[in-house]
Amino acid sequence: MSGPRIRWKLRALLDREGVSAYALTQTLSGKVAPNTVYAFARGTTKRPDLEALAWVLWALRKLTGKPYGVQDLLEYEEP
């Protein structure tokens, strides 16, 4: 039996917006390490840094002009 989990939605958001993870890393240059952005996009990060999440949201807003929030990056799933 598996328990509840948090699922990443960043890859789907990037695909939907036509924004590459590379473009996101370029926008975040000097703020969030590229490896962190790629790990977020792959959904492999289990304990994301809150400051990095905030910067990713900032960059997404800058790139798309849309008011994205944490709920657009992460989703809670019941077992």
**Per-residue model confidence (pLDDT) at position 2:** 83
Token pair 């002009």 is found at 65
CA gap 18, 26 in Å, rounded: 15
* DSSP-derived secondary structure for 6-54: EEE-HHHHHHHHT--HHHHHHHTTTTS-HHHHHHHHHT--SS--HHHHH
**Per-residue model confidence (pLDDT) at position 72:** 98
The pLDDT profile of the chain, 79 residues, written as one tens digit per residue, is 689 999 999 999 999 999 999 999 999 999 999 999 999 999 999 999 999 999 999 999 999 999 999 999 999 999 8
Q: SS3 for 62?
A: helix
